Amino acid sequence: MSTESIPRITPLSPPYAPDIEAQLRKWMPPGTAIEPLALFRTLALHDDLFSRMRPLGAGILGHGRLPPRDREIVILRTCARANAEYEWGIHAVLQAPEVGLTPGQIDATVGNPDHPAWSPNDTTLIRLVDEIHDTATISDTLWPDLTSHYRDDQILELITTTGWYRLLSTVINTARLDHETWARRFPA
């Protein structure tokens, strides 16, 4: 086993303290049979930070102003660009199909930004993620394409979603979290 596959930060294991158990359940979808994700159990090592992070994550996923499909394209592409296969694989299984992304489109988030699976607006989202990933800004060339499809509040949400999933990707990659057994892997 290479050192790159050994977790650097070991996620909490049950039994959990009652307050951690309650927080973990809040992070998971209501009524899910899935055990709390390794990412959440890792974040729970810092209970104060953990409780402060949840409102933003929940707001992005459940109370956003973006069309859910657009949000998922941004999340998948962000995770792919950051090489966070762990988070990409979870979204590829749970959220992306729910919002209408096809298996081919899910796979295309890992590859060529000009993939034929994408509509012109989808390509704008892919370009947004790529530019933020590469430069931490949005070019004057891309900006008009964004403003022709999205309001300013939605653009702020696109930027924030990209940053949030880049943050999670950094935690995942640095902690070297093991993949969830049921999650997808990047396409070959």
Specify the pLDDT at position 148. 97
Dist CA 69 CA 161 (whole Å): 13
Split at pLDDT 50, 70, 90, the class of 116 is: very high
Q: For residues 117-138, give the mean pLDDT.
A: 97
pLDDT in tens, 18-27: 999 999 999 9
Q: For residues 113-123, give the mean pLDDT.
A: 94
Dist CA 43 CA 31 (whole Å): 21
Show Cβ contacts of residue 60 under 8 Å, excluding neighbours closer than 6 positions. 71, 157, 160, 161, 164
Specify the pLDDT at position 4. 65
Please report, as a single letter, which amino acid is at residue 158: L
Question: Is residue 3 scored above 70 in pLDDT?
Answer: no
Specify the pLDDT at position 125. 98
- CB 88, CB 175: distance < 8 Å: no
pLDDT in tens, 134-185: 999 999 999 999 999 999 999 999 999 999 999 999 999 999 999 999 999 9
Dist CA 101 CA 173 (whole Å): 25
pLDDT in tens, 5-19: 789 999 999 999 999
pTM to 2 decimal places? 0.95
pLDDT in tens, 27-67: 988 788 889 999 999 999 999 999 999 999 999 998 999 99
Per-residue burial over 10-21, b if 16 or more Cβ lie within 10 Å, else e, is ebbeeebeeebe
Q: For residues 92-116, give the mean pLDDT.
A: 96
pLDDT in tens, 70-102: 999 999 999 999 999 999 999 999 999 999 999
